[in-house]
Structure 1
């Protein structure tokens, strides 16, 4: 389906991320003819906007028509919060994942309980169980997952051939890879947060899941161990050391000033040997690689290398890219639930959007056989391998409570600049997490090794 996701927040294009925000529909449409469900979203360009309008808004045939209105990525959350507080705003509240704003919206009384509709639409059979569990607050299903994603290692095969290198799979290979690339005068990994401060949490998540390992992260999420344990301090300190060596973005100061289009250009032109980012970038490469960009560059992806002792060689960083719930300010909850079901579970529409626009699907049950022959083989491989994943990691924007996530975003950059030690950073995580854990605000996480069933 489509919701306000990481990819929209970066102005990057959207995994089925367009559902974003359905605004208050107790009013009439612009023509004054009838009530309507209005969608706000922040897709990256007119092509994506037009596609979503046609296939996810106008194609819906329910009680109310659906009107689509693009909004700026930088202001959509603030606009939503202001409108909700005024008693209007989005009828379907979108957030960048279950840990972002959801618990606050629920506590404030803005989100409707979706439990009465779960059996009606068979959501337990349609969605992966982990995704529905992570969408609960205080035992109530209050949002549906709009898209799912993972972190991967991107590369330009021609660049790797030129440098005589292969994609690393272990910590030793990763460190040798970055040392060699840096030594030859190239950027080891394209990286930058100028367009989106939240990029910081991608690397914090990678450090924890691939440096400390999913078993350790899961234990801390359950409150069985603390985030101040040496395994986490060492993992964050190691990731920070990689930044200080200039492996991410070329230098720490460049990481702060480099925007996303520059990252894609660096990978396509061969200035950078690789890039660690999310699968939300699939739709963004078209303008930089191949015929549309006027070059013969290609890109590929593989899993993120292990960065710690005892960490499985393959860990899939599990993430919900966007969550959508129904506002209590909207009076017809049943009608909104019907549209939400279409938006997140209509397999034909969703698969077509993946093939046509590289939108990311919601975490419904998808098999390789669901795709047509025209589908990008890299995309089919992604969802085939991801659906079969056994060793999973836990991203901050899906499995960490909101205040803890915000702290991790805001203060990670202080660690890579040397203003804050990894130990102090982990102490800050623990102090916030323990409080939110006691308040019941930690999303439900599946057990490591259990796969994505």
Structure 2
């Protein structure tokens, strides 16, 4: 079963559409496990990002000491909307790339279950990955006690806003439910969309709102208990959170109305935030690679943007919970002819903080969850981006994103069936009951990705 596209894959796709670019085609002829090169498939939001990755990762490795004494890496660029399907088909037939990029731990489970991947434990020990990556992120790649994937993108969710809009109306980034609801009421009364939101281009965007509301209302501890089978999704704390979200939609706080939510495009949401027509936008750190063109001189305005931690929606949950997300993970094909050299390339692609943060600074693309300090960031990086990743690397109040820690079918259920809740054809209680039935089946079948504890990430 194919997992849904990751946030990264989606934003790459919308980035291409926004730029008016045509679909990317293969940049080389390599296709599949080879005896004389290390093959790798990927896709990119723009030619600029593709060029950066080619120069600093692929060419960089090939020119490095490790690359000089080993086989060269050859990258083939695929279309964004076909990469996952093509990779799965090729791997199943024994001709896939040596380095496999999946959309995170949930999808990796599918490859593991089919016997497509090599365990990476020996390479992890040799290359020092225990020290290179944040502990929770590396552990998320373990299945049955063995390491099968290395995390390649670190994401979370935050509140994005235009400081000038908030200052003009006397608002501040909300830290409590009361502050959030007061801001939404005032914005609605003034004809301003309280929360810019929409899923016209990406139906799974609905799970972003389920994710942040569950994390800030039910809280990480309750989610951890449910994800480990110690609490049911029918628990009132989850039902009440969905009911609250539905109530907010009914009031027109998200996207202007429920009907408009289903037709709003992401370009519209960014433009509303920049122009002051929307107050807040609950989104992920992938936004850093997308928001820039809508603010400042390049957009013909003097608007700026910033972000704030998620508010608390319950007295039992602290403000600032950071839901953890792995947007992409790397694995090694079991048919790889030179796995040790593939591991060296994987290490070069994901484990060096300087290289990862240079990529973040230059393109806005999320870095791997590597151990990082303030001194690792390049001087040129946007301080707003630096602030988020420093906080995320030191996070203690961690939460859980549905697309990283829910089993694949349960994740799909979260956003597909939530649309029925928003339109009134499914009650919050029945929604949670349906999720519980499906989740228990997947949990019993071992389909839930590895899970870090809610404290001490």
Deviation of 1:12 after TM superposition, in Å, equals 5.0
Deviation of 1:373 after TM superposition, in Å, equals 2.5
Tell me the secondary structure at the aligned position of residue 201 of structure 2: coil
Residues 382-401 of structure 1: CA distance to partner in whole angstroms, max 9, x if unpaired?
12212222111111122211
Equivalent residue pairs, number: 434
Following the alignment from structure 2 to structure 1, what is the Cα–Cα distance between the partners of residues 80 and 265? 15
Tell me the secondary structure at the aligned position of residue 89 of structure 2: helix
- The correspondence of residues 142-161 of structure 1 with structure 2, limited to 5 A, is 142-161=148-167
Structure 2 equivalent of residue 6 of structure 1: 7
1:76 and 2:100 aligned:
no
Structure 2 equivalent of residue 227 of structure 1: 233
Are the counterparts in 2 of residues 13 and 281 from structure 1 also a CA contact under 8 Å?
no
Following the alignment from structure 2 to structure 1, what is the Cα–Cα distance between the partners of residues 276 and 75? 39
Structure 2 equivalent of residue 200 of structure 1: 206
Are the counterparts in 2 of residues 149 and 318 from structure 1 also a CA contact under 8 Å?
yes
Tell me the secondary structure at the aligned position of residue 61 of structure 2: coil
Structure 1 equivalent of residue 54 of structure 2: 53
Tell me the secondary structure at the aligned position of residue 406 of structure 1: helix
Deviation of 1:164 after TM superposition, in Å, equals 2.4
1:239 and 2:240 aligned:
no
Tell me the secondary structure at the aligned position of residue 69 of structure 1: strand
- The correspondence of residues 296-315 of structure 1 with structure 2, limited to 5 A, is 296-315=302-321
* Greater shift in the superposed pair: 62-71 or 50-59: 62-71
**CA 1:273–1:433 in 2, change beyond 3 Å: closer, same or farther?**
same
Residues 93-124 of structure 1: CA distance to partner in whole angstroms, max 9, x if unpaired?
2222212x221111111121112211011111
Are the counterparts in 2 of residues 228 and 427 from structure 1 also a CA contact under 8 Å?
yes
Residues 215-239 of structure 1: CA distance to partner in whole angstroms, max 9, x if unpaired?
1111111211111111110011111
Residues 164-187 of structure 1: CA distance to partner in whole angstroms, max 9, x if unpaired?
221111011111111111111111
Deviation of 1:162 after TM superposition, in Å, equals 2.3
Tell me the secondary structure at the aligned position of residue 119 of structure 1: helix
**CA 1:449–1:437 in 2, change beyond 3 Å: closer, same or farther?**
same
* Residue ranges of structure 2 left out of the alignment (5+ in a row): 17-27
CA RMSD, 1 decimal: 1.9
Tell me the secondary structure at the aligned position of residue 67 of structure 1: strand
- The correspondence of residues 3-42 of structure 1 with structure 2, limited to 5 A, is 5-10=6-11, 11=13, 24-27=31-34, 35-42=36-43
Residues 261-320 of structure 1: CA distance to partner in whole angstroms, max 9, x if unpaired?
222112112221110000111011221111222221100000011123411122111111
Structure 1 equivalent of residue 362 of structure 2: 356
* Residue ranges of structure 1 left out of the alignment (5+ in a row): 15-21, 29-34
Are the counterparts in 1 of residues 196 and 254 from structure 2 also a CA contact under 8 Å?
yes
Following the alignment from structure 1 to structure 2, what is the Cα–Cα distance between the partners of residues 130 and 170? 28
Are the counterparts in 2 of residues 9 and 42 from structure 1 also a CA contact under 8 Å?
no
Residues 239-261 of structure 1: CA distance to partner in whole angstroms, max 9, x if unpaired?
12222222111111222222222
- The correspondence of residues 275-424 of structure 1 with structure 2, limited to 5 A, is 275-424=281-430
1:428 and 2:434 aligned:
yes
Residues 342-361 of structure 1: CA distance to partner in whole angstroms, max 9, x if unpaired?
11112222121122222211
Following the alignment from structure 1 to structure 2, what is the Cα–Cα distance between the partners of residues 265 and 329? 47
Deviation of 1:13 after TM superposition, in Å, equals 5.9
1:267 and 2:303 aligned:
no
Are the counterparts in 2 of residues 148 and 319 from structure 1 also a CA contact under 8 Å?
yes
Structure 2 equivalent of residue 19 of structure 1: none
Are the counterparts in 1 of residues 32 and 90 from structure 2 also a CA contact under 8 Å?
no
Tell me the secondary structure at the aligned position of residue 59 of structure 1: helix
Deviation of 1:24 after TM superposition, in Å, equals 4.7
Following the alignment from structure 2 to structure 1, what is the Cα–Cα distance between the partners of residues 221 and 306? 29
Deviation of 1:323 after TM superposition, in Å, equals 1.2
Are the counterparts in 2 of residues 24 and 329 from structure 1 also a CA contact under 8 Å?
no
